[in-house]
Amino acid sequence: MTKNRSKQQQAKILRIFRKVHRVTGAILFVFFFFISVSGILLGWKSNSLGVLLPKTIEGTSTNLKHWLPISSLHKNANDILHDSISSDLSLELNRIDIRKNKGTVKFLFENHYWEVQLDGATGELLQIGKRQSDFVEHIHDGSILDKFFKTSQNQFKLTYTTIMGFALLLFTITGFWLWYGPKRMRRNKRQNNF
């Protein structure tokens, strides 16, 4: 009687896990699709031949003693951005990426995806390009909605990553049990037959 009840209990757990797995997958299908495609693109961004991420161009000197002050380079980057792309673009800086070993300084801006690469020693433009990978990253982590709605605390990103993280954990647990549960039931059945 106890063996029969145990088998029924295992079968019930399997049915519950299968339903949770199926319903969660159906509800979050679109989000998993975007996360997987954007994740693949982000994994390949450095090998995208400049499509997703502008290649880093080498400057003339890797010796920081020969470099111009950052404030001077920053002013050059701002002037180049406005002269080359549009004077309407925001100059709010997101970060400065210094590539000492390449002699390059990259200026990345907050409210758009343009990047200006300058020679650290001369301040000359090496390249100006669009960082499509940053846009893909914002889709990947949900922060694209924070940018769109101009939230102050990344509420969409935090909510999205929390839900998707728990969903992935739930998928891992239920998926494992959907694989392991039937094996366990068959093994118990074989043991009970002997």
CATH number at residue 124: 3.10.450
Q: Is the predicted pLDDT of residue 33 greater than 90, yes or no? A: yes
Residue 11: inside a domain, yes or no? yes
Q: Classify residue 125 by its DSSP letter.
A: E
Q: How far is the C-alpha of 84 from the C-alpha of 94, rounded, in Å?
A: 19
Q: Is the predicted pLDDT of residue 183 greater than 70, yes or no? A: yes
Predicted confidence (pLDDT) per residue in 116-171, tens digit: 999 999 999 999 999 999 999 999 999 999 999 999 899 999 999 999 999 999 99
Q: Is the predicted pLDDT of residue 180 greater than 90, yes or no? A: no
Q: What is the pLDDT of residue 74?
A: 98
- What is the residue range of 82's domain? 54-130
User: Do the beta carbons of residue 160 and residue 146 sit within 8 Å?
Assistant: no
Q: What is the pLDDT of residue 77?
A: 98
Q: What is the pLDDT of residue 3?
A: 66
* Of 131, 128, 68, residue with least CA distance to 103: 68
Q: Give me the DSSP letters along 43-107.
A: HTGGGSTTSSSPPPPP-S---GGGSPPHHHHHHHHHHHHHHHT-TTS---EEEEEEEGGGTEEEE
User: Do the beta carbons of residue 89 and residue 103 sit within 8 Å?
Assistant: no
**Number of domains forming the structure of the chain:** 2
Residue 49: inside a domain, yes or no? no
Q: What is the pLDDT of residue 164?
A: 95
Is the domain of 40 the same as that of 58? no
Q: What is the pLDDT of residue 8?
A: 85
In the three-class reduction of DSSP (H, G, I as helix; E, B as strand; rest coil), residue 116 is classed as strand
Q: What is the pTM of this model?
A: 0.83
Residue 119: inside a domain, yes or no? yes
Residue 37: inside a domain, yes or no? yes
Q: Is the predicted pLDDT of residue 1 greater than 80, yes or no? A: no
Which of 3 and 162 is assigned the larger pLDDT? 162
Q: Give me the DSSP letters along 10-41.
A: HHHHHHHHHHHHHHHHHHHHHHHHHHHHHHHH
Is the domain of 123 the same as that of 83? yes
